[in-house]
Structure 1
Amino acid sequence: MHESEFGYMTFTHIQRRRGRDGQSRQEYLQQLVEEYKKADTPDTKRKILATLGNFAYDPINYGWLYQEGVVELFIDALSNPGGDDELQRIGVFGLCNNALDRRVQQRLANDEVVIGLCKQIILANTKYTSEFLLSTVCLLWHICTPDNINSIVSSELKIALEGVRSSENVNVPLHNMCSIFLEDFFFDAQKLTSDEVLKESAEELSEESNEPMKEPLAKRQRSS
């Protein structure tokens, strides 16, 4: 079934849809999760996890994926306990797709390990493919919130993103994703810093003269 067909089906229709072996989609996902947990070769685990990551493309699957704990499989792959870089890439890919689910987004936004691993990958960007980096930057963008932004935004991350964006070998999607991240999460921080400097400067001048400095401050803000 092609992805374009989803737009013409209701949730109930898809839930009831049967494959050649009579399985529903939910039953098929349950089977994939069990097979992944029992898989005894790296190649088998990669193939199964990639299939689960593809299911995360469509919102109609979010409930089943969440119910079956698939996000935890993606997180485990991201942590890369076995040193399998390809499985780690697939884990990031799956999380990036699944992060559009608000429950998953909240789960990841509160996970310091996930945030830390994403930042490590971006900081060590020369070790990874463009596809890997694109999924990682996109994932970090999805889970950056007002509550955790201070633990994500840093001068090191800014330099790394700018470096990736200006690389001679960067492709258009990765270049654009880095630009979006920088504009969304670093521009406001710089603006806030500038406003704070103006405020402190105005307060110092006011203390020296004991007179309100509203008009000069307004002029300085317009000229800055």
Structure 2
Amino acid sequence: MFQSKAYIERRHGKTGTDRAYYLNQLVQEYKTTESKEAKQQVLANLANFAYDPINYNTLWDLHVVVLFLDALTDDDPLLREFGVGGLANICLEPRHHEYIMSQPVFRHNIVQCLKTEYSLNTKVNAMTTLMQLITAENYITILTDELRSHLQKIQMDKQQVQARNMAALFLLDYYHQPC
């Protein structure tokens, strides 16, 4: 649910925990903890906060997009899943969009989240992120043969129907390839 500052203040009171302070605490915990489970939980929380535009400025100031992007190459499948989920939630905000598009390796790592062995949520969030990143100015940069190949493999997957259907729509809408 999108929240206004007034709603947050009514819910938590004027003396309640400041949202920016709380997000900063989460980022610090993520960076300093040695616990895999704590990292997973914190990144999942940050990804959820990335859903609400009221948090965009704070998340930008805390460089949370970097945490999401770094998680894409982590060995932990849940960190990958939460990282790409956070990107899907935040990538339409112009500064975050521009940052994600600024380095080819970022786009490459998102595409790599479409590998067949990855979880359904990871693949669906990667496709969602890529779809939301596409603009008239950058579609040639995103719509690569490598991406098409990953989407075609997902489209053939009989196990993950949601990912298969989304890949089929992606191919139809952006590559004009019929199902």
CA RMSD of aligned residues (A): 2.3
Q: Displacement of 1:15 after TM fit?
A: 5.4
Shift of 1:22: 2.9
Match of 2:94 among 93, 102, 122: 102
- Answer 1 or 2: which has greater helix percent: 1
2-structure distance, mates of 1:15, 1:70: 23
Shift of 1:116: 0.8
Deviations 1:29-64 (CA, angstroms, capped at 9, x unpaired): 111111111111211111111111111122222122
Asked if 1:75 corresponds to 2:64, the answer is no
Instruction: Give the secondary-structure state (helix, strand or coil) at the position aligned to 1:29.
Output: helix
Q: CA deviation at 1:136?
A: 0.9
161, 182, 187: which one pairs with 2:171?
182
**Equivalent pair of 2:92/2:133 in contact (CA under 8 Å):** no
Structure 2 partner of 1:66: 60
Matching residue within 108, 111, 118 for 1:119: 111
CA distance in structure 1 between the aligned counterparts of 2:146 and 2:169, rounded to whole angstroms: 17
Q: What CA distance in whole angstroms lies between the structure 1 residues aligned with 2:49 and 2:65?
A: 12
Aligned to 2:126: 136
TM-score (norm 2): 0.85
Instruction: Give TM-score scaled by structure 1 length.
Output: 0.69
Q: Which one has a bigger Cα radius of gyration?
A: 1
What are the ranges of 5 or more consecutive residues in structure 2 without an aligned counterpart?
A: none
Alignment of 1:1-224 (within 5 A): 3=1, 6=2, 10-14=4-8, 18=12, 22-80=16-74, 83-122=75-114, 125-172=115-162, 174-187=163-176
Residues in 1 aligned to 2:28 and 2:6: alpha-carbon distance in whole angstroms = 24
| Percent identity of paired positions between Structure 1 and Structure 2 | 35
Q: CA deviation at 1:154?
A: 2.8
Give the direction of change, closer, same or farther, for the CA distance of 1:106–1:169 in structure 2 (3 Å limit). Answer: same
Q: Report the Cα offset of residue 94 of structure 1.
A: 0.9
